[in-house]
Amino acid sequence: MRILTLVKRVPAPGARINITEDSQYVDDKNLGHAVSPHEECGVEAAVQLVEQYGGEATVLSMGGPEAEEQLRVAVSVGISKMVLVPTDGAPKDPQQTAATLVTAIEELEAADGPFHLIIFGNESADQGGFQVGIRIANALGRPMVNGIKGLELPEGQDPASGEGHIIARREVDSGFEVYELPLPACVGVKEGINLPRYPTMKGRLASKKAELTSVDASAEPGGQAQVRLKSPPEKVSETVILGNGPDAAPAIVDLLEELGVM
Amino acid sequence: MSAVLVVIEHDRGHVPESTFEALTSARAIAGGLGVSVHAAVMGDGGDLAAAAVGEYGADVVHHLTSPNLGDYNPEAWGQALAGAVAAESPAVVLASGTDRGNELMAQLAARADLPFVANCVDVAPDVTSMTRSQWGGALLEDATLEADVKLISMAPHTVEASAAPAAGAVSELAVDIDDSLVRSVITDRVVLSEGITLSTAPVVVSGGRAVGSEEAFAPLEELAAELGGKVGCSRAVTNNGWRPHSDQVGQTGTRIAPQIYIATGISGATQHWVGAMGSKNILAINTDPEANMVTKAGWAVIGDLHEVVPAITEEVKKRRA
Amino acid sequence: MSEFPSKANVVVIGAGIVGSCLVGHLSRLGWEDIVLIDKGPLPNPGGSTGHASNFIFPVDHNKEMALLGVQSANQYRDLDRSVDSGGIEVARTQERMDELDRRMTSATAWGVEAELLTPAQVKELVPFINEEIILGGFHCPTVSVVDSLDTGTLFRNEAMDKGVLQVFANTEVEDVETVDAPNGQQRVSAVVTDRGRIEANYVVVACGVWSNRVANMAGATIPLVPAVHQMADVGPMDVLAETNNEIGYPIVRDMDTFCYERQSAGSMEVGSYGHRAILHHPDDIPSNDEAALTPTEMPFTQDDFDPQMETAIELMDFLGDAEIKYAINGLLSLTPDAMPCLGETVEVRNLWSAAAVWVKEGPGMAQVVAEWMTYGYPRVIDPHASDLARFYPEERGDDHIWARADEHFIKTYGIVHPQEQWEGRRNLVQSPYYSRQEALGAMFFQARVWERAQWYNSNADLVERYGLSEREVEWDNRWWSPIINGEHLNMRENAGLFDLSAFQVFELSGPGALDFAEYLSVNKVCKGIGTSAYTPWLNEDGGFHSDLTMMQTSEDTVRIVTGAFDGGRDEYWIKKYLPEDESVTFKNLSRTTTTLGLWGPNAEAILSQLTDADLSFAGNSYGSVTNVEIAGIACTIFRVSYVGDTGWEIYTGWDNGPALWDALMDAGNDHGLRPTGMGVYAVTGRIEKGYRLMGAELESEYNPIEAGLARPKVKAADFIGKEAYLAAREAGDPEVHCVTLQVDDNVDSQGRQRWMQGGNEPILTADGERLVDSHGRVSRVTTAGYGPSVGKNLLLGYVPAEYAAPGTQMKVMYMNELFPCTVVGTGSAFDPENTRLKGS
């Protein structure tokens, strides 16, 4: 199976997210960076599928040169190839992002053949546009379902052929919806599909030797534009302390009664 | 004609509360634009859904029909919406920012080659500028939108759904859907639990890292059961393997909206908070009076959850007895 | 939660291991009305305590670090918050094996159980180690792993249970206020927090990496910088998990790669001191809210750690296949000289520092500060090298702190020679003779900020003249030259000219100056204009605080001359005790006065060419201070000697220095005068005479009777420490004596001559038994050096009275070998009658 998984480099903030003075960025001066959590699971899903069915997984990121860090993390956990679509690092709108990536993916596929499965994260941790994967799938003419928490090939299917289906499970309140998407296909995965492994030291050291492929691509901005970032209004009301320790139990139950949940 | 067209999300006829919120928002936007509210329904159970939306202000309900529309199918449904947009030329298409709502809007946007602004919390009357949520709601973004048809979704819980009966006249609209798109339909369902779920539970009792182990969730289970609620947890807990990911409340887990959220031993990192902030009431139980969860909660008890939680259960039982 | 108070006796800022232990110790010493605040939550407020690896290797070459490490380990043990995991320092190089021999020597000095292991023996204790790449190991079974957060909680609880402490977490300090105090000083008055303002008599800064920022709010400085120590937790590994224990295997320090491997339950913490120094400004540390983890668990910079991972895998292959679950750039505090910052700030009275302290010495150093606040000086140990007052102004700025931290970070696990010199931040203060000295090929050593010539390569001819040679073993020869011995022998034969500009020269003036001078000093100082005294200064407990010379220069002025290493401490001490009636004015003349030393049998012949003054011993007696003209330059000459030959300290204005130097060198041309370095002044000349040095022989743990510096009578005037001094005198013969020993045979087992460095080498009985007195003070070498005029390797140190008699046979350990030595006595090994001091 040939798999492509896409990741975005995002800051790893704490309980408060600060914004830069120009209101355009999350102030990440003192923050580490990570792959968006859903995409981290996408990387793990790709690695597991390759472990199970054979083949090769490629990771791609669009971003500034520092996104190489996230690509190498993906390689250190078992992805074999990495591709950077370099940008100036400024946030792009979803249409522009999708169009850029379509160009890049088409170039990769023209060179090495189609990816049987393209794995996106359900949404990015920061901008959360909920659409880039779907736009790409549509442009490539491939089926796409978001919110996927399980992936497997039907029994007896030849994984190397790239033909057949992939069974994708989407979690809903009561259980799962099951989709059988014909390959080549796209999915947006959600955290919970797996518990991503951490890199090993040997994996990390091996990832340093991996070659980074750069694919230049660009597109015009779309119709949505960011004006500024801002923090949501702070909660104004004071917290009512009902008491300390187990002695507070009666006051708590009074509250439960008042709220009608008893 | 020009209207605010609301995408009616439903599962085999069952319309979730979030869609009524979307209709409520749509009424305000339509009022500002001086246009009417239309709704689009399709697929299995579409008639049931169509019947439900007039109550919330849809003047016209377009029931999209095609042989290729059946159970939920993001591609086919998205194509159907594209057909409706082409046919009806609405000023705005609006959905609730749920998993399905955003997915359908993205499918529509891709097919109609239009921008789509997800998870708005505030929209200017002319719908050319809006405030939307980023980071799961931990940050807000002021954005502008330039498009002939403006596609937006409203972040869940932005408004409370309110009824405003309108005509709700159902009219059928046949749409053209390529046979190939049948490929994305739901082929099977696996039902794991009946009844209330984390996202619909009236009471959620959650534990964080301070719970300490898988076994130590037993008292939380007992309290949740006593109150007819569900147990949730923080990301640290699922990362430690103490609870399944489906129990995780947070940006990458489940967004909850219970009547009361009882958060025990949870510090309240952004990731968790944005999943919990839709709760009507929050009670935090924590040893640290300055923990984020405590300062953000309406009510708090300062103490060790291992002592407080059993005491609550006991008190509940005592009063019931 | 109780209401935030508006007043307290003591406010302690920082509830990490140091602040928490400090409030506990203060409560034990009877302090009341203490408020402890921290900007973070409890029990882990988010400073270095929360992420430290929490182990204690009790062996250190430095006495303060070693003994306070042991003392701290015992405090953790007393609270049952400690496990003796054992620890092994492994060597991959022969140089490191030699260092492990030195570790064994220090282990013996401090009485810590230790042994050297073969690679196979290491493997027996640590089965997952690759023994093929190591040459051996240094095993210390009492290495312990401690729970610092819990220990902090217990100390806080102890104080709270007594009702003397209130604790406020999540309380951020916004300002530290001061008020005017007598003598133009400032005194701390209040701490302003986001919860309110609290007036305080005492404020202690114990907030780790943030300490300098908080001190700055009051106009004070605590020179430290937050620096990264990278740590990665990898696992799980079955072999570790099977121990069912937080720690079941000894901690391994892979010294040559600057790494450690410490088991933490089922995984291994790999920590590094081998990466580039990564320093942060306190303002760049995120707040508790902003940080993804805690503020001092900064984002891991993987590239810096990669080389460490490769070497770690070499040592323990299984590390390579385990997952890196958690990795941080953990912040800890570094100071310009790698020692802590303890004591009252020099800028603000009653503002104290307990900072740059790591978990391994936290409880002990907290006790030090608590005792310091209580008794005026600590009792548990002399924190001489940790005293915040040691820093000169040039050492307190960020440029210096950062540069020095950058240079010494890599030495954390390094092999550091006792005489090792800094590479950067040199030439901060040069004497007026610097260019002349440079032309003479001076080898400069730095005394804190002052550059001093240790020897002059222009004197290389003396090596041949006196038949001298380099030392056989490179370690002994490092930072040393036989020219030193040549300069010494020339001084004994002819004369030497010494640049003593680094002397710290102070002046007390005003109506209270003479009385105040007496109050500071054990010996009578003011015996008339032109008189002088060499005198100890004691602390209230009667131990040494300083030893220096003082001169009465007019009817209301007294001059004080002390060494470069103690100038800051002595200036602080004077200002601390200045009379509140402002009857004494203090002046620091160090940067305007230069000092030259002229000593040797030809000194009088040289100087007499340049002055009409009577230089005869009758007319210019020992200790006299006289204003004279030398070559037309106004000077003050002080007949005194620290090197065992007659001569003078000559003081003049800074700008007159070069002319004076030139005149003396010219006059000395026919008298064999040579510029002579500090190698002679501070070591060879001094040790032949058995002269004591502050910070070496003289420490607060010893008194003048033990040091052999007590005079027959005690002056009538009151002085600091008098009561304790009288009591010690009345107690009769002291338990220990400071003695000179000579090494009888310095040939080691490999047939090489060895030369002790004066790095706390243990002095043992002839049978090799360690000597410890009833106060726990161990017999060890305080100064070592060759005595060229006596032809022996000489040692100074304290030994119990029964071993102090001349001729007593002893042993000294050096590099883990025993060498026989003999007690010379409490006086001088050279010219014990002091005939050479008399001149003509």
Q: Give the angle subtended at the CA of C83 by the CAs of C81 and C89, to the nearest 5°.
A: 130
Does some domain include residue C614? yes
CA C603, CA C200: separation in Å to the nearest integer?
Answer: 58
Partner residue facing B260 (CB), from A16, A26, A261: A261
**pLDDT beyond 60 at B1:** no
Tokens of C599: 């000593």
Q: Supply the DSSP symbol for C681.
A: I
CB A18 within 8 A of CB B275: no
Instruction: Encode pLDDT of C248-287 as tens digits.
Output: 999 999 999 999 999 998 899 999 999 999 999 999 999 8
A182 chain-B contacts, CB cut-off 8 A: 183
Does some domain include residue C187? yes
CA A4, CA C537: separation in Å to the nearest integer?
Answer: 77
Q: Return the residue matching tokens 């009857």.
A: C583
A232 touches chain B (CB under 8 A): yes
Question: Percent of chain A, pLDDT > 90?
Answer: 86
A145 chain-B contacts, CB cut-off 8 A: 74, 103, 184
Do A174 and B311 count as a contact with CB atoms less than 8 A apart?
no
User: Could you give the C-alpha distances from C370 to A97, C20, C162, C189, C379, in angstroms and in order?
Assistant: 61, 12, 17, 19, 10
CA B215, CA C120: separation in Å to the nearest integer?
Answer: 43
Segment C799-817 shows an average pLDDT of 97
B292 chain-C contacts, CB cut-off 8 A: 289
Same domain, C311 and C325: yes
CB C323 within 8 A of CB A201: no
Task: Give the HSE-up count for residue A233: Cα atoms under 13 Å, Cβ half-sphere.
Answer: 5
**pLDDT beyond 70 at C691:** yes
**pLDDT beyond 50 at C529:** yes
CATH topology of domain B203-320: Rossmann fold (3.40.50)
Tokens of C186: 């400032």
B288 chain-C contacts, CB cut-off 8 A: 41-42, 169-170
Do B288 and C42 count as a contact with CB atoms less than 8 A apart?
yes
Among C272, C293, C302, C316, which would you mutate to test the A interface (most chain A Cβ atoms within 10 Å of its Cβ)?
C302
A205 touches chain C (CB under 8 A): yes
CA torsion angle C697 C701 C706 C707 (round to 10): 20
How high is the pLDDT of residue B4?
A: 97
Closest CA to C729 of C742, C746, C745, C710: C710
Q: Give the angle subtended at the CA of C363 by the CAs of C361 and C368, to the nearest 5°.
A: 90
Which residue of chain C comes nearest to A198, CA vs CA?
C323
How high is the pLDDT of residue A218?
A: 94
What residue spans define the domains of chain B?
A: 3-184, 203-320
- The one-letter code for the residue type at C253 is R
Q: Cα distance from C149 to chain B (closest Cα, Å)? A: 15
C42 chain-B contacts, CB cut-off 8 A: 288
**pLDDT beyond 70 at C840:** no
Does some domain include residue C481? no
Closest CA to C776 of C374, C381, C366: C381
Contacts with B, A 85-144, CB within 8 Å: 93-95, 98, 122-123, 125-131, 134-135, 137-139, 143-144
Do A176 and B238 count as a contact with CB atoms less than 8 A apart?
no
Number of structural domains found in chain C: 5
Tokens of A212: 């980074």
Beta bridge partners of B230: B204
Same domain, C176 and C251: no
Same domain, C106 and C167: no
Which DSSP string do the residues of B277-301 spell out, in sequence order? Answer: TT-S-EEEEES-TT-HHHHHSSEEE
Residue C514 contacts by C-beta under 8 Å, 6 or more apart in sequence?
A: C525, C526, C552, C555, C556, C558
Instruction: Encode pLDDT of C786-800 as tens digits.
Output: 999 999 999 999 999
CA C527, CA C525: separation in Å to the nearest integer?
Answer: 6
Q: Supply the DSSP symbol for B67.
A: T
CB B93 within 8 A of CB B149: yes
Among A252, A254, A262, which would you mutate to test the B interface (most chain B Cβ atoms within 10 Å of its Cβ)?
A252
How high is the pLDDT of residue A14?
A: 82
Residue A161 contacts by C-beta under 8 Å, 6 or more apart in sequence?
A: none
How high is the pLDDT of residue C1?
A: 47
Do A30 and C286 count as a contact with CB atoms less than 8 A apart?
yes
Instruction: Encode pLDDT of C125-175 as tens digits.
Output: 999 999 999 999 999 999 999 999 999 999 999 999 999 999 999 899 999
Tally the residues of chain A: 262
User: What number of helices (H) and strands (E) belong to chain B?
Assistant: 9, 15
C288 chain-A contacts, CB cut-off 8 A: 14-15
A236 pLDDT band, cuts 50/70/90, is low
Tokens of B203: 């009471």
Q: Cα distance from C100 to chain A (closest Cα, Å)? A: 29
CA C656, CA C637: separation in Å to the nearest integer?
Answer: 14
Chain C residues near any Cβ of chain A (below 8 Å): 232, 234, 284-293, 298-300, 302, 306, 309-310, 312-313, 319-325
A243 touches chain C (CB under 8 A): no
Give me the phi and psi of C14, to 5 degrees please.
115, 120
Partner residue facing B190 (CB), from A145, A175, A261: A175
Mean predicted lDDT score pLDDT of chain A: 94
Tokens of A28: 């990440």
**pLDDT beyond 80 at B194:** no
Question: Percent of chain C, pLDDT > 90?
Answer: 94
CA C838, CA C840: separation in Å to the nearest integer?
Answer: 6
A26 touches chain C (CB under 8 A): no
Contacts with B, C 99-128, CB within 8 Å: none
Do C170 and B292 count as a contact with CB atoms less than 8 A apart?
no
Residue C233 contacts by C-beta under 8 Å, 6 or more apart in sequence?
A: C264, C267, C268, C269, C270, C324, C325, C326, C327
Give me the phi and psi of C134, to 5 degrees please.
-115, 155
Partner residue facing B118 (CB), from A130, A174, A231: A130
Tokens of A81: 């190839």
Do A31 and C313 count as a contact with CB atoms less than 8 A apart?
no
CB C714 within 8 A of CB C726: yes
- Quick one: how far is CA A225 from the chain centroid? 22
Burial class (CB in 10 A: 0-12, 13-18, 19+), B195: exposed
CB A252 within 8 A of CB A242: yes
Do B301 and A252 count as a contact with CB atoms less than 8 A apart?
yes
ipTM given for this complex: 0.94
Q: In terms of DSSP bridges, do strands B203-207 and B230-233 run parallel, antiparallel, or are they unpaired? A: parallel
Which is more confidently placed, A192 or C359? C359
A31 chain-C contacts, CB cut-off 8 A: 286, 290, 292, 299
- The one-letter code for the residue type at C768 is G
Strands, sheet with C55-56, edge to edge from the N-terminal-most edge strand: C55-56, C144-146, C82-84
Does some domain include residue C808? yes
Q: Cα distance from B42 to chain A (closest Cα, Å)? A: 18
Do C287 and A16 count as a contact with CB atoms less than 8 A apart?
yes
CA C441, CA C459: separation in Å to the nearest integer?
Answer: 9
Residue B321 contacts by C-beta under 8 Å, 6 or more apart in sequence?
A: none
Partner residue facing A198 (CB), from C306, C313, C325: C325
Segment B99-103 shows an average pLDDT of 96
Tokens of A150: 């399980």
Mean predicted lDDT score pLDDT of chain C: 96
Does some domain include residue C469? no
Partner residue facing B298 (CB), from A135, A172, A240: A240
How high is the pLDDT of residue B277?
A: 86
Residue A210 contacts by C-beta under 8 Å, 6 or more apart in sequence?
A: A72, A75, A80, A81, A82
How high is the pLDDT of residue B268?
A: 83
- The one-letter code for the residue type at A115 is F
Instruction: Encode pLDDT of C567-605 as tens digits.
Output: 999 999 999 999 999 999 999 999 999 999 999 999 999
Strands, sheet with A212-214, edge to edge from the N-terminal-most edge strand: A212-214, A81-86, A56-63, A2-7, A117-121, A185-189, A144-152, A165-172, A175-182, B186-191
> B3-184 and B203-320: same fold?
yes
Lowest mean pLDDT segment, chosen from A108-117, C289-298, C530-539, C671-680:
C289-298
Among C1, C305, C316, C324, which would you mutate to test the A interface (most chain A Cβ atoms within 10 Å of its Cβ)?
C324
Four-way CATH pick for B3-184: 3.90.25.10, 3.20.20.140, 3.40.190.10, 3.40.50.620: 3.40.50.620
CA C328, CA C330: separation in Å to the nearest integer?
Answer: 5
Do B292 and C42 count as a contact with CB atoms less than 8 A apart?
no
- C368, C391, C414 - which closes a domain: C391
B253 chain-A contacts, CB cut-off 8 A: 191-192
Residue C686 contacts by C-beta under 8 Å, 6 or more apart in sequence?
A: C642, C643, C693, C783, C785
Instruction: Encode pLDDT of C314-324 as tens digits.
Output: 999 999 999 99
CA C325, CA C341: separation in Å to the nearest integer?
Answer: 34
A98 chain-B contacts, CB cut-off 8 A: 110
Looking at domain A2-214, its CATH architecture is 3-Layer(aba) Sandwich (3.40)
Containing C51, the helix (H) or strand (E) segment is none
CB C673 within 8 A of CB C494: yes
Instruction: Encode pLDDT of C430-484 as tens digits.
Output: 999 999 999 999 999 999 999 999 999 999 999 999 999 999 999 999 999 999 9
CB A119 within 8 A of CB A45: yes
Q: Cα distance from A187 to chain B (closest Cα, Å)? A: 11
CA A67, CA A125: separation in Å to the nearest integer?
Answer: 15
Tokens of B34: 């001086």
User: Could you give the C-alpha distances from A155 to A159, A167, A187, C154, C371, in angstroms and in order?
Assistant: 10, 10, 20, 60, 76
CB pairs under 8 A between B and C: 12
Domain that holds residue C378: 7-47+150-224+337-391
Residue B39 contacts by C-beta under 8 Å, 6 or more apart in sequence?
A: B5, B6, B7, B8, B23, B50, B53, B58, B60, B61, B62
How high is the pLDDT of residue B241?
A: 83
Do B190 and A173 count as a contact with CB atoms less than 8 A apart?
no
A14 chain-C contacts, CB cut-off 8 A: 286, 288-293
Instruction: Encode pLDDT of C419-429 as tens digits.
Output: 999 999 999 99
Q: Cα distance from B293 to chain C (closest Cα, Å)? A: 12
Same domain, C212 and C282: no
Handedness of CA C428, C432, C433, C436 (dihedral sign): positive
How high is the pLDDT of residue A250?
A: 94
**pLDDT beyond 70 at C2:** no
Contacts with A, B 84-113, CB within 8 Å: 97, 99, 102-103, 105-107, 109-111
A65 touches chain C (CB under 8 A): no
B302 chain-C contacts, CB cut-off 8 A: 1
Segment C535-543 shows an average pLDDT of 97
Partner residue facing B269 (CB), from A14, A179, A232: A14
How high is the pLDDT of residue C244?
A: 84
Same domain, C130 and C240: yes
How high is the pLDDT of residue B2?
A: 86
Same domain, C201 and C163: yes
Q: What HEC string does C696-711 produce?
A: CCECCCCCHHHHCCCC
Instruction: Encode pLDDT of C66-121 as tens digits.
Output: 999 999 999 999 999 999 999 999 999 999 999 999 999 999 999 999 999 999 99
Handedness of CA C88, C91, C97, C102 (dihedral sign): negative
